[in-house]
Amino acid sequence: MNGNNTFFKDNKPIVEKINSIRWEALKKRIKYGLEVIERPISFWIKEDRLREEIGKEFTIILRSKGCSWGASEHGGCSMCGYYLDAVNEEVSTTQLINQFDYAYNNKINEIKQDPHNYIFKIYNSGSFLDENEIPQEARNYIYEKISKVEKFKEFVIESRLEYITVEKLEEIREFFDKKYLEIAIGLETVDDYIRNNYINKGVVFKDFKSTLQRLKEYNIGVRVYLLLKPPFMNEQAAIDDCSQSIKKLVELNVNSISINPLNIQKGTLAEYLWFQNRYRPPWFYSLFKCLKKSLTQENLKNLRILSDPSGAGTKRGIHNCLKRECEISAKERLKHFVLSQDLSELDQNGYECTCKKKYNLKKVFD
Ligand code: SF4
Ligand SMILES: [Zn+2]
């Protein structure tokens, strides 16, 4: 896949470990019944940052047969447990359309009556542009429906690089002439070594740059996912890696960067290391440090920074000392920063916890 085999020879033991963890987790998983396949994994509406304003997101997560990279002999990414939500069998085009319709019909009236503008996101815990996950007929059905809703000012899908081909871009452009489109790419870091040896992503930066160029030619925006604190990294290394990545992506003029602090998902190598006390999810302080270190307010005129961490404030997600007030205050700061895109929100006086001192003295770095 992707012709980047040079990156796989070093991390054979990691791939073997990922594969054996996945195999064990899949054996224990309950098999999904037919009725589950007719419904999406989930869907919701919530406040979100649009390009020019604060608005709302309508997100649908489809249940597909799962990420092809994750199902391949390469084992998938070391922090990704999405394969447990996948069906692992064929999901027909009709079933995918039924899942979409179920969520769409449930929310569309509320959306049309809402005074806010919306961003529409559709994910499938893999690549929306992979024909094996979401066939063309299902994609086109969704494009057709979404393109007609005036309220949706932005449309976001996600895909691995290898599926972002000229044909797929031509196809999407046929349906959308006015809406702002963004394709989200899990680059995770600009560092090829970290990405391919610690995360097992199977993606090289040079390919990302050519895809970025191609997307610019089609006037399609790029949203990059960065992973804060991949497995095998300590707090300081994680801050450095993430700030270098942000700086590089600012130079390359990407449209949005979404920072995902690692959260411990079930059935992953990250969970295995965490159980053994060899990994701790990042501190909120590190995320804030990284943002302040790598960005200026000027940068945020042309770039949107997003972060809506899963499991935030819990032991499996980004957290500080787990004291309730400390976690709530950190989550609020992050949310206000994302909604306003104003870096000074990260310094707002709120609850100051004693754990900050310990953190600053590097007594907590692991
Ligand atoms: S993180 Fe993305 S590319 Fe990696 S295994 Fe999960 S769904 Fe696939
Ligand atoms: Zn604290």
136 part of a folded domain: yes
359 part of a folded domain: no
Looking at the 3D structure of the chain, how many domains does it have?
Answer: 1
361 part of a folded domain: no
358 part of a folded domain: no
Where is average pLDDT lowest: 57-61, 175-179, 180-184, 188-192? 175-179
Average pLDDT, the chain: 94
151 part of a folded domain: yes
Residue 4 has pLDDT above 60, yes or no: no
238 part of a folded domain: yes
DSSP 195-261: IIIIS-----HHHHHHHHHHHHHTT-EEEEEEEES-TT--HHHHHHHHHHHHHHHHHTT-SEEEEEE
32 part of a folded domain: yes
Query: Residue 59: what are its φ and ψ, rounded to 5°?
Result: -115, 135
DSSP state of 194: I
Adjacent-strand bridge partners of 46: 57
Residue whose structure tokens are 């996101």:
121
CATH number for the domain including 269? 3.20.20.70
Residue whose structure tokens are 């980047």:
4
DSSP 100-135: HHHHHHHHHHHHHH-SS-EEEEEE-SS-TT-TTTS-
The answer to whether 215 and 238 have CB atoms below 8 angstroms apart is no
Atom of ligand 1 nearest to the CA of 66: 7
**pLDDT one-digit tens code per residue, 254-305:** 999 999 999 999 999 999 999 999 999 999 999 999 999 999 999 999 999 9
Model pTM? 0.95
282 lines ligand 1 (CB under 6 A): no
pLDDT band at residue 31 using 50, 70 and 90 as cut-offs: confident
pLDDT band at residue 34 using 50, 70 and 90 as cut-offs: confident
326 part of a folded domain: no
Residue whose structure tokens are 């690549």:
127
Domain residue limits at 31: 5-319
Ligand 1: distance of its center to the CA of 131 in Å?
16
Ligand 1: distance of its center to the CA of 98 in Å?
24
66 lines ligand 1 (CB under 6 A): no
